[in-house]
Structure 1
Amino acid sequence: MGYVTLVEIFKHPITQKYLRRSGVHHAVNVTEIAYRLASERKENPELATKAALLHDMGHFEWYREGKWDYDEYRRHDIHAIKGAERAHKLLIRLGENRVKAKEIAIAILLHTDSYLPFSVKEFRTPLQQIIYEADEMDELPKGGHHYLQMENEEAIERLTSIDQKIQEVSDKLQSN
């Protein structure tokens, strides 16, 4: 099992399918924010960025009379549950380390508690808190952040840059 890059994850057809629903722009922005937060807090940037990239892959679109119905979506939202499941399966398929895949999936599961009748704020690990905060930092009212556009080429450029930074950190740690 080697290192699975953000770009490899992004290019996979399953990722492409679900990020088209939840927004490539939002996924990449949250990934960049998560990288910055993880670096500042001395948390694992690899896990943070992978969880951030995939955090919304469980979204389902709710329409009423041909129009997006944000309120209906919020009433029935379980995207964190579906996203954690999809992300874990995808990461294992790509050859990700099983322990890392589980930690990433749990961070996705707990990046929001909107689907729960209680708060999990005080129970989040530092990694899970990073994903929560990164997501919140990129949000727009009524889910508008999911509709901002980004071409795949730009997403790949930005994710490649993050992959390079993560590799540099990893190389530095291995040489010490």
Structure 2
Amino acid sequence: MRHVTLLDIFTHPIAKKYLTRSGVAHAVSVAYHAFRLSTQYNVNPDLATKAALLHDIGHYEWYTDGQWDYEKYKKNDIHAIKGAERAHKLLIRLGEEPQAAKEIALAILLHTDSYLPEGTIHQRPLQKVVKLADEADEEPGGKHHYRQMDYALAVKKIEELDQNVERILGSEQFKQLG
């Protein structure tokens, strides 16, 4: 049973504020990629799509002389840390099951290694799915954060994705995995 839907998250004022900052079109696209990848990696699509939708909710705006400074962002940003905390708090407020909120937050924390010291970390399947989904939508110079999507279309796509997640969660294939 889902305690919180993607639409619940997407329409919450906190999510609206920060998803607008990091790019609604990117967030929706990454959620769709995560849904697709969740079946490949035998990952719960509910957790994957929520983590993917919120993966950049911790973005800070890095500007120099009024212009977005991608190099400054790459050098100084720790959005995954802030995003994990912000997403966890939002999910708990919305009534998400605490363990699910924690797993989603950890996937957000580990969706990028740009702020980590040299070396690799072992990612669990959910964390890998969110990272791969984000990478599937990236464009050079961070341009994926600036693609536009009409809010009404975004809501429609989120509703469709919620229906797809419900369909998979109710399928016999998923019940056998769970």
- TM bucket (normalised to shorter chain) is over 0.9
Question: Where does structure 1 lack aligned partners over 5 or more consecutive residues?
Answer: none
Q: Which secondary structure state, in structure 2, belongs to the residue aligned with residue 42 of structure 1? A: coil
Match of 1:143 in 2: 142
**Distance of aligned partners of 1:56 and 1:175 in 2 relative to their CA distance in 1, 3 Å threshold:** closer
- Give the conservation status (yes or no) of the 8 Å contact 2:111–2:130: yes
Q: Mapping of 1:1-176 within 5 angstroms? A: 3-121=3-121, 123-173=122-172
> Pairwise CA RMSD of aligned residues?
1.6
Question: Following TM superposition, by how much is the alpha carbon of 1:175 offset from its aligned partner in structure 2, in angstroms?
Answer: 7.9
Q: Is the 8 A contact 1:2 1:95 kept in 2?
A: no
How many residue pairs match? The answer is 175
Contact 1:55 1:111 in 2 (8 A): yes
Gaps of 5+ in 2: none
Q: CA deviation at 1:109?
A: 0.0
2: distance between equivalents of 1:46 and 1:175?
13
> How far is the alpha carbon of 1:168 from its aligned partner?
1.6
Q: C-alpha distance in 1, partners of 2:115/2:44?
A: 27
Alpha-carbon distance between aligned partners in 2 of 1:45 and 1:2, rounded to the nearest angstrom: 11
Structure-2 separation of matches of 1:72 and 1:142:
12
In the superposition, relative to structure 1, how do residues 175 and 2 fare at CA in structure 2: closer, same or farther (>3 Å)? closer
Structure 1 ranges of 4+ moved more than 6 A? none
Question: Share of identical aligned residues, percent?
Answer: 57
Cα offsets for 1:130-164 (capped at 9, x unmatched): 00000001000110000000111111111111111
